[in-house]
Chains A and B, each alone.
Chain A
Amino acid sequence: MLVRQPAFRHASGTLLALALVAAADLAAAQEVNLYTTREPGLIQPLIDAFSKTTGIKVNSIFIRDGLAERVAAEGTRSPADVLMTVDFGELINLVEKGLTQPVSSTVLQQAVPANLRGPNGEWYALSLRARVLYADKNLDLSSFTYEQLADPKWKGKICIRAGQHPYNTALIAAHIAHYGEARTETWLRGIKANLARAATGGDRDVARDIMGGICDIGIANSYYVGLMRSGAGGPEQVKWGDAIKVILPTFQGGGTHVNISGASVARHAPNRAAAVRFLEYLVSPEAQKIYAEANFEYPVRAGAAVHPIIAAFGPLKVDSLSLTEIAKHRVAASRLVDKVGFDR
């Protein structure tokens, strides 16, 4: 026995080691495959935090357009587990094409308000952002409505990105939901007549162009202000961010237009459990804090804090229109953009 004991110990040690290796293998084998239209720079901090917390590896691919085509073509063999989009319309499009599956999770249901998820858990919003007004900081302006964008007094003074960009088609769709297509067309023609330059570039360009004297006001997303002013984008961008002031515009008698980033579990997800876990993580207090602090977005989770730079804009009063209602007018919005030659 005396002789054997160390041997036994040795053997048990080996077993333990083997078990550990096996467990490690199992953990390593845990993966989740993410297809995203969200820019990698905005999602990477969350992926890193998730992998650190859970040990689950996230393989991701950024596909700006064609996410639906790609997943549909891949069919039952698709490795996609989570489909994430930057825009509500894109997310609904995935659901309507039958590329997603419902997820019922109490964690998700408790964290995400009912109007920010699919009725059967086909999709979940993860973060919110507002479509706000950037204005020259020397401008005497303290409130603004989206309707005023068409006011001729802004002729040659407005900068905005392409009308066909989902951020803008969503805003135009919201206008249609409020006023109908005919009035929206007049409104769009009015904005078009007010443009200071071609409708192109990104949202940050609006701030830079205001600083550069090209325009006085422009429409852009809320979180870019945080990315610029915080210095996360480098010293140059701090100047752009400081050249503007931010006003939360509203529809007349309504609220501010918001859009979401959101995600669904793919219909043929090979790692469904890990996929659900990933979504649950993204709405956890920890992840929602990252959304607020690293991305400067509004968290979806009730009670999660907003970053001070964003909070300084004042209280956000979200427009009462439901996202589903807005999504119905997305194609009509896109057609109006063509019709009035907005991007021409």
Chain B
Amino acid sequence: MRIRGIVAVLATAGGALSVHGAASAGTETPVVFTVGIRQDIDNFNVTVGVTVTDYEAWTLHYPTLTGKAAADFAVTPALAEKWEGSADGLTWTYTLRSNVTWSDGEPLTADDVAYTINRSRDEEWQNHISTVANLTAEATDATTLVVTSSAPDPKLPSLDVFIVPQHIYEKVSADDLAAHDATKDPGGGPFVLTELKNGQFWRMKANDSFYGGRPEVDEVIFTLFTDDDAMVGALETGEVDALGVVPASQFDKLAANPDVFAAEGEQGSFAELGLNAGMGLDNGHPSLKDVKVRTAIAYAVDRQTLIDKALNGHGKPATTITPSADPKYNLGPELLQPFDLATANKMLDDAGYADADGDGVREMPGGGNPLRYRYFARSESEYGAAVAEFITGWMREIGIAVDVSVISDSELTTVIGSGEYEMFVWAWTPFVDPDAMLSYFTCDQLSKDPDDPTNYYNDASWCDPRYDELYAQQNAELDPAKRAAAIEEMLTIFHEGAAYVVLFQDSELNAIRIDRWTGIPCQPEETGPFLFNNTAPIYTALRPRADAEPLTVACGSRGPTGAADRPASGSSNGDDDGSSLPLILALLGAVVVVAAGAVLLRKRRTSDDRE
């Protein structure tokens, strides 16, 4: 039979190639760690790229002056060995390691660092500017760097900038910088980018001249998937070693696999229900200018239900707008309104929003304008539609009608900026330090230009003069306790303004094959993810796991359950459970095909008879 022949030929080809693959790997056996991802590098140029995957690649490729400990984000030596601050906290002198080189052999010195800081400040490089805006750097010799801040900066001495090679960048003018092909830049981090195929994969090789010592993994490959099921399947079959982002619906399945360690980590990202408080461009519903209405809405949202139903349980209720990857910056007071529809209804009744015409929707005090709100959900969000369903239902319970539109992020930016909304649900991933997140809700960031409505960050359409005052204060406060007190007061003011109903912190879900790998740090240890975290410590800590070698995982209490003591061998047989479902599906499919064929065959026969 011809069909059978084709299958046999294809299968033989497949078998032959697998053997070939094994043979070629056997000759050199480089240690290769492969990470499956859904998001591509958009642009490797640090002055252009914006995605999380860019940050992961830059963190491996470019050197940094200081690092952060995996366990707790404490500032650690990186290119700088040690540092010293002046009494006023404005000047920091860093001593760099000597005899460090770029991967192309050129010396990597304090000049490169000073050049990067000064140029990125002058040209406002988007990924550096929030760190370097007030800084001036000077290299007094090859290993000494003096950094001066024009205002007290509580973030120092930590200095999060990707250091670029001066000998390459000084030849690129400001105008040409955005088009500069950074994939050819020499590296100074633990791994150097050697190949980037957009839409397919990128490859990073261990840097022999890395100041922290050459990593044990020879090569890290990030490979791109466009389909979640295929990506999870590839981890199960071993085509990849780890997944950067596990789809929430498949997390439990992977967590149950003894060859896989799947961890829920927090990066501080949170989702919020934004209400239009009307202080930006004033095109929203007048009732939302009343803080009592906004507070009532906050009482009518059941966060736990959203987490259980929309996130499959992978998250926790959010309490503030500054959750951070670093727990010590989670400064917010836990003032959450409990879910209580009766209180919400009573607040609206007391404030005079009655349903005079009995149609189930309240009107403005004095009658007339009903409380009918435009609600925008994000088409890009995994949970946007589900969350909208729940919130719409709760609003109905308190006499507020909601019209939901699902739109893209870029449309939503315009909608919010122009004030043409009442509600939206979006999310933020704040930096480790809360400063930037706090800055977005100052009066200065309110949208005020109808011709250019998207040039502002304040999407609460709310601000408060006391909040602004405290913002300036905390930004220059070097005493951590005083700064924390100022921030706490700001968060209280923001919370009482009720323009944002913070909903939940969604978890970062990672997975890795522990039958093959050991030495897995989470950052921070107790709560963070092990991939796509702040300074990517896993790639330098990881090593292949030999048979029966005990597993080391530094992820606090979240270590793999029951698998840690298991010998590491026999991995490829562990997939049997996972593969039965596809086979059942296949059989089902075959039955459908045969049945369909049989039905059509009969039809055919009758129509032939007519012919």
Chain B binds chain A: no
Residues of B that sit less than 8 Å from A by CB: none
Residues of A that sit less than 8 Å from B by CB: none
